[in-house]
Amino acid sequence: MNFINAGVCAPKGFRAAGIHCGIRKNKTKRDLALIVSDKIASAAAIYTLNLVKGAPIAVTKANLVNGKAQAMICNSGNANTCNADGVEIAGKMCELTGEALGIDAKDVIVASTGVIGQPLDITPIANGMDELVSSLSYDGSAMAAEAIMTTDTKQKEFAVSFTLGGKECRMGGIAKGSGMIHPNMATMLVFITTDAAVSPELLHKALYDDAQKSFNMISIDGDTSTNDMVSVMANGMAGNEEITEENEDYETFKTALGMITEQLCRAIAKDGEGATKLVECFVSGGKDWQTAKTVAKSVVCSSLFKAAMFGADANWGRVLCAIGYSGADVDVTKIDVSFTSEKGTVDVCQNGAGIAFSEEKAKEILLCDEIKVLVDLHDGSESAVARGCDLTYDYVKINGDYRT
């Protein structure tokens, strides 16, 4: 099982494209993406837990009732959320896509991202559809990845090769996500493709289970978005025997999926709005996974801790503080904390109390752009990882005038 330099077009039978159709005022920014399978595919998706949901989520949910899809369309620049005609517009996006591709509109996954509460005009999407479809390419992943970006500073795409039943299979993914990100999904959209053959039921189970330890363990700013969606299509063109039960092939498939989602999560967290550092909290020694999960999430969600990471300040007391109010049942007198990066590791707390350490060494470690916080609860064998970033001045600047 190996990573390959590609995205959603790495698996057989997937084309993608991204164009500027006019939703965004900046003509240098692509704002409409399309991913298409050469054949109908098993499909699954998971969605935000926010009670306020973007209209595309309702339409996609209805379209995926049969567990099948053949295309994914997404616009950036407008979330199509809290609009009176939102469902109508999202449905029209599916209709336009279906007509242009010669497929059923109900076989289309639709997504939108951008400003909430502003009407989405269907005109530029309709006018751009011919260009979008004609731009489809088996090398078009990067264009699609660019077209779904909003405040992202970097494209996010990964792919992996793996074997099922002697057949080489591939899986690829692209994502957008930079702000309004909090566990239980985020203002992120993730599109995953694979040429492995998997039943819709097991595809959904694999995606749902994976998200509990991947996408639901990211936090940038504590805001759970309205439009979060992770969707996957599996077209079976690799030729493996379809996975219909939780066997060895299913476990291999889940491992490949986990490799993709982990990299996408790290990329999303590292590209948080205004962020300068990826911050990961690795919790070990939990009496159960829920405890380890709660502790890890609480640490990466702490604004005070995130600010300390921006300043490269080894303020480990903020780690203990976040654990203390997390609600997790832990013995605080057993907790050890360390900071680590490519510059080394420094132990800062043992048995819930401070220990002598070199502030100069700690500063050197925390000035790196990828930081790990190691927390050992010494109360069991379960572990969890949560991912986030530092909190900087630029976060406020970006969001102070995001709409205007």
The H or E element containing residue 285 is strand 278-286
As a residue count, the chain comes to 404
For residues 388 and 301, is the Cβ–Cβ distance under 8 A?
Answer: yes
The H or E element containing residue 133 is helix 123-134
For residues 224 and 185, is the Cβ–Cβ distance under 8 A?
Answer: yes
Q: Tokens at residue 383, please?
A: 């572990």
302 vs 388: CA distance, rounded Å: 10
Query: What are the CA-CA distances from residue 165 to residues 10, 64, 196, 241 (Å)?
Result: 19, 28, 10, 7
Query: DSSP letters of 257-281?
Result: HHHHHHHHHHHHHHT-TT---EEEE
The H or E element containing residue 371 is strand 370-376
The H or E element containing residue 372 is strand 370-376
177 vs 156: CA distance, rounded Å: 9
354 vs 347: CA distance, rounded Å: 9
Give me the helices (H) in 45-178, please.
Answer: 55-63, 86-101, 123-134, 141-147
- Nearest to residue 327, comparing CAs of 295, 373, 283? 295
Q: Is 276 a catalytic residue?
A: no
SS3 117: coil
Taking the CB of residue 99, how many other CB atoms lie within 10 A of it?
13
Q: Tokens at residue 354, please?
A: 């401070």
Q: Which of 48, 187, 224, 392 is catalytic?
A: 187
- Looking at this protein, which amino acid is placed at residue 260? I
DSSP code for 72: E
Question: What distance lies between CA 258 and its chain's CA centroid?
Answer: 12
For residues 219 and 297, is the Cβ–Cβ distance under 8 A?
Answer: yes
Residues annotated as catalytic are 187
